[in-house]
Structure 1
Amino acid sequence: MAADLSGATIAFLAAPEGTEQVELTDPWEAVRGAGAVPWLVSTAPGSIQAFNHLDKGDVFPVDTTVDQVTSRRFTGLVLPGGVANPDYLRTRERAVAFIAEFAAEGKPVAAICHAPWSLIEAGNVRGRELTSYPSLRTDIVNAGGKWTDEAVVVCSNGANTLVTSRTPDDLPDFDNAVLEAFAG
């Protein structure tokens, strides 16, 4: 049975530049297809510049900024990857606080590729099992997490549900797990 997210509002947090485009657009379309309303949240108003690996991709309009909204407005959070996106977000105090709010409220968070860097900074890794792009393995372990090399890992340890995935190749599995977590 397909997930029904009617009435849900899902935040997608992205830096002004550097988000891996397919890791934004693919889950975006999945949650929209399930009836949810996706919102692009960034650290600055205007638009974000997405990338297709190292090449500039499309530009996407920002719906709101982390300074204008809290996690209470949303059902869940998606953190797209790309190297530059989470690296930038983890150095912005309000972006890190926004991510941490979801965990504190028991709301699901989904992160793909390099996005777990932001989870580490927000303190949402210790005692959790997750996956990521392989180069983050040591960072996750050093932050107290258990790294697993699987297409998608769903961890619900009494806190919020955390959905993580490795790369764009895993997007079908990631999207399905995201929909289940946000519906559930």
Structure 2
Amino acid sequence: MTAIQNARIAILSTDGFEKSELFEPRRQLAAAGAKVTIISLETGSIKSWDDGDWGEAVDVDMTLADAQVADFDALVLPGGQINPDLLRVEDDAVSFVRDFFNSGKPLAAICHAPWLLVEADVIKGRNVTSYPSIRTDVKNAGGIWEDSEVVVDQALITSRNPDDLDAFCAKIIEEVREGRHQREAA
């Protein structure tokens, strides 16, 4: 069990993230008292994709090369089409997601971010949701897809789109409070 005020939460992202899907979880989790760390492939800043154009940037706090699963209580994966598509071809990003899943700690993915869960081969037999356009990818990877604002399967938290952010963030906070889960093989 981890008090949200003591929680260390990682957000793994790169250029092309859906602006609200990074900024809103960062805001809500920080407002609840968590320490939120933006992790990316390189130092500097990463740019959002917002309404068909490059949007607001956010500073990177830590590179993926320096990130350790043991240092965080939860991992958040923002969506957008570009961001998870770029990350899912990076072996280190896929390994980090897989290792986080295997740790039993809360792992949250929204919109197109379940592509990373597919690539990490962690959704077979799990109840999940995603942006509707990747439903077939999720199902082909063995995920049990449902059209709900937030779906949780043993601290694996998924949501569909920015309209679901309040429920998504509330569920992350709830799962962090519950702590590590012993995930049964699906």
Query: Normalising by the residue count of structure 2, what TM-score does the alignment of the two structures yield?
Result: 0.92
Q: How does 1:1-184 map to 2 (within 5 A)?
A: 4-15=3-14, 17-156=15-154, 161-184=155-178
Whole-angstrom distance in 1 between the partners of 2:98 and 2:112 = 17
Measured in 2, the distance between the counterparts of 1:89 and 1:96 equals 7
CA deviations over 1:51-81 (Å, ceiling 9, x no partner):
2142221111101111112111100100000
CA RMSD between the two structures: 1.1
Unaligned runs of 5+ in 1: none
**1:178 aligns to what SS in structure 2?**
helix
Q: Do the aligned partners of 2:3 and 2:176 also contact (CA within 8 Å) in 1?
A: no
Q: Structure 2 CA distance, aligned partners of 1:46 and 1:21?
A: 17
- Contact 1:4–1:34 (8 Å) recurs in 2: no
| Same amino acid, percent of matched pairs | 45
Give the secondary structure class of the aligned counterpart of 1:58.
strand
Equivalenced residue count is 177
Distance 2:52 2:6 in 1: 36
Q: Which amino acid aligns with 1:48?
A: I
8 A Cα contact 1:20 1:53, kept in partner: no
1:61-113, CA deviations, whole angstroms, 9 ceiling, x for partnerless residues?
Answer: 10111111211110010000000010000000001111111111111100000
- Unpaired runs of at least 5, structure 2: 179-186
